[in-house]
Structure 1
Amino acid sequence: MLITFKSRADGDVIMFAEVARRILSILGKDPADTRGIVTVEQIPAAIAALRAAVEEDRLNTPPAEEKDPWEQEPGTPRQAAPISLAQRAAPLLAMLAHSLKAATPVTWEA
């Protein structure tokens, strides 16, 4: 399932529901809601909450080990580093910033 965030100030941001629900929870929204709104008045607090969560995630997540591919066992599939909250939240943070500047709300729907 996908959740789409929309704003008149930016292009759509589409996320897998699991990630979007985590972010909605950080924003203080009910992750079970299939649609909702972040009003212009709520955007500054939403940005602050999401930035704080990203920073906390950075501090609590150990850096991924980079292995030299030449030292890897032949035939072993290479494992990608996990995607951080910062990477997942960046498009929505940009949308929220553009929406604040344009004084337009952000909505979401499943």
Structure 2
Amino acid sequence: MIVTFQSPASGDVIMFGDVAQRMMKLMGKDVTDKGIVTVEQLPEAIARLKAAIEEDKQQRAGLQEEDLPRTEPDRSGGAQSSRPFVTLTQRAVPLLELLEWSLKKKKPVVWGV
């Protein structure tokens, strides 16, 4: 499953379903097929994502590249497989930028439409 976060304020952010669900939870949203982060909810969603990014960075502080996992479970599809490891920060930053642009231009962010 693929989820696309959209806003008239910026380009789309496309994620695997399992990753998008994690981002929804981090933003304080229910995990749903369709949803919205209203303009009024954007500041809290931004703050929550920034806190998660900071926590991720702190957890990896002092680790060398070779200390990071090479793969992670792929929970997006049917068969259990693995995909290259991507940090939470790498996954969250494009969505954070979409939220920030949306707040700046006072536009909501939606998915599943």
TM-score, scaled relative to structure 2: 0.78
Structure that is richer in strand per residue: 2
Aligned to 2:66: 65
Amino acid at match of 1:92: L
Aligned counterpart, 1:15: 15
Report the RMSD for the aligned CA atoms in angstroms: 1.8
Q: How many residues align?
A: 97
Aligned to 2:94: 91
Report the TM-score, using the length of structure 1 for normalisation.
0.80
| Superposed displacement of residue 64, structure 1 | 2.6
Residue 55 (1) aligns with residue 54 (2): yes
Q: Deviation of residue 58 (structure 1)?
A: 1.5
CA offsets 1:39-86 (integer angstroms, 9 cap, x no match) = 0011011010001001111222344317xxxxxxxxxxxx57721111
What is the aligned partner in structure 2 of residue 25 from structure 1? 25
Aligned-partner SS, 2:55:
helix
Matched residue SS, 1:3:
strand
1:4 and 2:4 correspond: yes
Unaligned runs of 5+ in 1: 67-78
Higher relative contact order (CA 8 A, sep 6+): 1
- The unaligned stretches of length 5 or more in structure 2 are 72-83
Question: SS where residue 65 of structure 1 aligns?
Answer: helix
SS at match of 1:103: coil
4+ residue stretches of structure 1 with deviation over 4 A?
A: none
